[in-house]
Structures are given as C-alpha cells and as structure tokens.
Chains A and B, each alone.
Chain A
Amino acid sequence: MLAEKYAARIDQIFSKYPTKRSAVMPLLHLAQEEFGYVNEEAIQQVAVLCDMDPTQVQSIAGFYTMYSERPKGKYWLQVCTDLACALRGADKFHKELKEHLGVEEGGTTEDGLFTVEHVMCLAACDKAPMLQCNFHFEENLDMDKMKARIEAWRAEAAAEKSGAKKASAKTKA
C-alpha cells in the first residue's frame, strides 16, 4: 500500500495544500513510480487517499499525458518532434531511433527495455534533437550518441538483473 510505504512523503505532499484533492496529481506521479504505470490499483489507492471517486481520479489520469495507463519499457523514450525540433532533424532522428530498436510508434522492444514515442514540445528547442528518458532530458543527440546511450542502458539493466540474482541467491543461502 502506498499509504504505508510512503507515509512521510504523502504527509509532505498533503501539507502543501488546503484541500486533499490538490494532491491527486503528485500522488498519481508517486503511484506511477511505484507500479510502473497508473493501473487500477493505483487509481483505487489514490482515490482513497484524496477522498475522491475513483472515476474522477481516472479522468485525471486520462487527461494528462505523463500518466501512462499501460506498462512501458524500463526506459521510456519520448522524442520531441514538434516544429522547432523538427527543423533541426528530430523527425529523422525519431524514425532512425525506432528502426534501430525495431519498434513501431508507441511500441516496446521484446526484451521490455525500451518504449519509443513522440511527444509535444519539451522546452529544449535549442538542444534538438532531444528526448526524455523516464522524464530526464537527453539533449543535443544524434544517432551515434544515441546508440552509445542505448548500450549503456542495456548494460545498466543487465547489471541490475545479475545483481538481483546474486542478491536472491544470497538470501536463499
């Protein structure tokens, strides 16, 4: 349960506002962090916390684009292809990135690591092409830099996986 696991953080969020409802967006962000996406459980728990109807919480989750209602890859790559970035090659970059990873728009690689989609302006027009990976900005990109980043993320994911295996082996021992 979010309420127990993140009690201090939730209290801190509620302390900012005179109404419980104002906390719905920060709590949906927290739930997405916990569950990887905004699933039914997230909706229910946030509704209880904010004293709202689950339908109202669902409508908030559906309205704002940063809440995902489907699972995403471990690395959620959102490429800005808006006008200012497109004038500096963002459409081409976006297309090549999808080809490199072998995914369609909005698709996730078979290993579950990467989801690629395009997004609207991210306020980084002077550093195009750019993308956000799990909401962190990666800027001044080209495909060579991108391929190196992808390899680094793959290595990071593999290290985490083997680390987790070792940890569970230790627990068993």
Chain B
Amino acid sequence: MPNRYSEWRIRLVSIIAALIVCVLVYRIIQVQIIRHDTYSEMARKQQKRKINWPARRGSIFDRNGYPVAVSHNSYDIGITPRDFSQADEALKELSEVSGRSLKQLSRLLRKDAPYVPVVKGVNLSVEQHLRVSSLPGVKLDACPERLNPLGAMTPGFIGSVDHGGNGNGGLELSLQQYLQGSDGWIVINRSARDKSYRSVNAPGKKPVNGHNIFLTIDSGIQSIVDFELEQAVDRYGAVGGAAIVIDPWTGDIIAFSEKASSRGRGSTDWRSSGTLYSTSCIFEPGSTFKLVTDAFLLEKGKVDPYDVFYGENGTAKFDFGTFRDDHPYEWLTFKESFVFSSNICTIKAMGDTDKRDFYSFILNMGFGGRTGISTPAESKGRLRETDEWSGRSLASISIGQEIGVTGLQLVMAYCAVANGGTLVAPRVALEARDQDGRTVEKFPVIKVRRVFSPETAETMVDFCRGVVREGTGTRSAISGIEIAGKTGTAQKSDGYRYIEGRYVASFAGFAPAGDPRLVCLVILDEPAYAYHYGGTSAGVAFRKIIEGINMSTDIFLDRSRSMVAIGSDDEERVEIPNLLRMTAGEAETAARKLGFRLDYSTSEGEIFSQVPGPGTLVEPDAGIAVAFRTSGVDTNKKVSVPDLRGLSIRKARRMLIECGLKSSIRGYGSVRKQTPGAGAVVRAGDNVVLHCSFGSTARSHVSVQSFRRGSRSADISRRRN
C-alpha cells in the first residue's frame, strides 16, 4: 500500500525521466543539427560513388563510308550460384547464349563460390542481352572490342585500342581526340556490400560519344595494293615490302600497305609490331632520289635536258672518289642519264654546285623533316648538315646515297612532280563527323610550298615517262595508260659500310603520265639477288598495282575523281628568309625588306631558332618569331614572353630557355595556349605554362605538322580553310 510518500517518489522518478529526456533532446539536436554537416559528409562518402560513364569510341570509315574500325561490346557471363534461379527456362536461356550444356551449367551451379564465370567474350544480340541480363544471379560484364570489318589493314597504320578504350598506335592514337569523345559520369548509390543502385534522379553527365572519322583510304584500292604487295614480297623473296598510293593533288593517302615476308625472314624493321616501315624506317633511296637532283639542276638552270655527259664506260674517277654505273655508258644526254639511271652522268651534271643550295633544295622537298602524317613515331630521315658533308657527299647524295629517307618523304617528292611543283602534306583523314552524321571538322588539303616551277615539273614528268618507255622501268609499262616513274636500286648499309648482296629495290611513279591521278611507291626490302633491281621487282609490282586499280575502278578515266586541285594562290605568298645566325639588326633589315614582322624577347647574340622556318610560304605581313642565343639568367632582368603557339613542346621549351624562362607543360603535342600570353613582360626565371593540344582540357584541332620548314605555314593555311 503506497503511503503518503508515494507521490514524491513518483515525482522523483518523473523528474529523472524528464532529465533523461532533456539529455536525449540535447543529443538529438547535437547530432542532427550541430554535427549535421559532418555526418552528411560521412554519409555521402560512403553511400555515393561517382562512376565513369564511358563515351562510345567513334568509328573509322574509308573514304567511301565502309567501316574500317568499329567498336563493339562482347560480354563475359558469370553467375552467382546463390542468387541464380535454377528454373529450367533460366538454365536453357543461359545454355543457349553461353554454348554450355545444361549438364555443365548444373555442375557450375553446384560450386560453392560467390561468383562463377561461365563464358567469356560472347556476342549478344539486343534481345539476348535483355533476356540474359534480366535473369537473377546472372552477371554480364561488357568488354569493349575494336573490330576491323574489312579485315586487317597494315596493323601499325590503323593502330589498335587498348582495354581502356584508348588508341594504341597508328591512326587510333593520332586521331584519339576525335575518336574518344568525352566520358560522362553518374553518381550512383552503393550499399555497404558494394552493390550499386541507381536512383531515378541521380546526378550525372551524359557522355559525348566520339566522332566518326572518314579516312582518305579507299578500301577497294587498299585491298588491291595489299594483295599485289604480298604477292611481290613472296615472289621476289623480299624481307618485306611497302606500297603507298597517293593522290598527288591533295596528298590523300589512298592506300597504305606494308607486308613482312611470310617465310619468317626479316630484319627488325619488319618484325617490330606497330612500327611503320614507310614512315618510321629510313633507307637509302638510290636512283629514285635522282628525281630530286635533276629537278634541282633544272630549276636552277644548271643544265639543259639535252646537255651531253660522258659516261666513262661505267667507271669514273673523280677527285673525291670513284663511282660506277651498273651498265657502262658512253655519251648520254642529261635526260638519258635519268632514263638509264647513270650515276656518273648525274654526278658530272652536278658539276660545281654549291652544296648549301642543294641542301636547301632537298630540305624544301621535304627530306630531313617530318611530313606530319597522323601516324606516330614518324622519322625525319637522315640528312646531315652541310658542315658534316665530306668531299664525296655532294656526289653521293645526288645519286641517293649518304642520305636516309622514309618511303613517305620519297613519294611526296614524286607527288610534287606529278602536281606541277607543289609539295603537299600527306592527308589520311578527310573529315570528322559526329554520331548524327554532321560534319564536325574537315581536314584541309595542306599545300606546303612550291618547290619548283611547273616547267621543271613538266620536264621531270617527261624524264620519268622516258624511264618507263625506254629506260630502266620498261617492265612497268601498261598498255592503255602511260606510266611515268623512276626505278631505284640501293645497296643496304650497316651504318659503316655497304653490305654485299642486300638491296632495297624501289619504284616510284604516277599514272597517267599526262594527267597524274595517282602516285605510287613500291619498296621491296632485300629481294632475292635476281630481282634486286628496282625495275625488275618493285617496278613489276607497281605495274600490277596500277593494272589492278585500272581494272577495278575508273579513276584513270574519270577526271572528277581527282581530289581538290591545287590552287595558284601560292603566288600571293612570300617565302620566309633564313635569319639563322643573324644579329638582331641584320634580321630586322632582312625581315623588313620582305614585309615581315619580327617577334623576339631578347636581342642579345645570334638568332638561334626561327618560326616559321626558312623557305616557308606565308602571308606577306606575317610575323617571324626568333630566339637569340644568350647565356646565363639574370633574374632581375625583365623579358617578354615569346609567342609559342603552334610550336612543338621541344621548340617552345628551347625558346623559353633562350629567353631565360622556365616552363611547365600541360598535356602533350603542340602548344595550344600559353600563360602568360605572348608579349607579356615577366621577370627572367619566371615560369610559363604551356597548354598543349593533347591531354589538355580544351578541344584542339588535329595536329597535322607540315614538312620541316613549313609547320607555321601549315597552321596558317589550315586556319584560312
């Protein structure tokens, strides 16, 4: 029986309860209001996950719209036995798509494992994908694949795609910025068991799929070239062979093929995967290079086609050494020396030519510099400075020795002859289109510079015509189409001396001779001795390629098939003078005389580098950025930042070093933007940030570098287009 104290007892209990409630209310407010941000952040960190929403990589098509490389998803199928519904229908469905028997599947399901892989790399139709993915306990992992529906072209040329969906070599890498698109993201909710749940209004950004690229390649012609080259490599016992077919007017690469011998022979040039022989490996061109020599002599007016030279019956002793012809000749005109490929007459025609003139001409023809083709690891070739030339070098180089060229450099020189004297940059891509088919970017034809007059070009065409009519390339003649070209047979060297019995046979030519539509170069590396002459092996392969193209297309008949014709606006342009090693005063005078502006930050010493390079055709009022060689950095000195846009990282850094500035690089490729901007006055030793075209955030245009002396002009001409 509660006594009169009961009331205070229950009151005391109530007060204690009230105190407990007060503590709880305070704690609730502390947790939910005061420390809300902390707990919210902890919740967000553990519950949300930002995942990448990959963009679909763009496809690569040939010029006619046939797919060359397309992305495709295959699937790895696995099951979680615990969750898998072992109903007959589910098992049958899984068996149908995986190709596993019901018995095999039942055995897999008995495994005591959280995940059991069933099959890898299965192609699923949309319906199959929907059906299988809806089965409980079945997991589908998409594995992106890159397919080549037209069959494997030269692997290193197209390149491949790695597991991350990024280009790995070839055009896949160089056109990555167009093909890759930009990935999106999405925030998903995750459970503590790492399961993902996507809510309806999950924040995210949709991916922008990559653009489709339309190449200049014609897959029909490509297949002809592939086939004929393979035949030629096998037939002539070569280690490997390369063939390039180009539209001389636009520089469009119509076909690009390389084949290694299937017999297992091969030097490292052909064995290393991903390396393109035609762009990355250099060889001595031999007689095919005489086209450059003869064009130089004709352009400079040093000889007339009908000047006569004595062939010395095959062996001639000069002051600088003895030279031989394969076939002894007596008196030959200058044209005949080309037609019959006489080394002695060519050397004699060179006479007392200034080696620096010849060197400059070779540079202008695109040798010793990269062509700017969109394939990685392009070689510049090997052309020594004139200071390093020996007494014999001028003669040797004039007949294609002591010089290393790439196949692409050589064929571009022949393009210049075929199109009337203009050097064009090779082009592999016509345009980029978005997924809706709208053109995003057209890749312009880049006319680098005029390298010789149309008259010289016409004479050289006549010379090349003679080679096929009556000279060393008669086996390349085709009835119905007049061929012009030049054979080349060059002994291979190991870097120190020539190797007996190892040759590179080549034939470069174009058809039809009167109105060239295609230029083709065939190179056969180390053919059997019986076929080591360019005319007997490479020339024959050339003929077969042209015959094949003639039979399967009407390109040699239909004028409209020719791409963009070269305009004649080169006349409006002015050639950049050579300002190297000049002082500031001298350079200012020389530049002003031709109407150029000179951009430089310091003016001490000699000009160390200039952009654009000497010989580049540009607008008359264009600026020339020059850097002077200075020594030491005075940090109190104020310097103005040079304009580095369009330069390669190496060139830009070199210019900055010359100006006494430091640099930091963002991305890779050519410089797109710089901070501080050009002309800003900063303290010596300050840092300049170079934002490059690849790997930086802003979208940049495809990096088509022109020939060595023309990188600036290429950019200028592209901007105009």
Task: Please say whether chains A and B are actual partners in one complex.
Answer: no
By a beta-carbon cutoff of 8 Å, the part of chain B in contact with chain A is none
By a beta-carbon cutoff of 8 Å, the part of chain A in contact with chain B is none
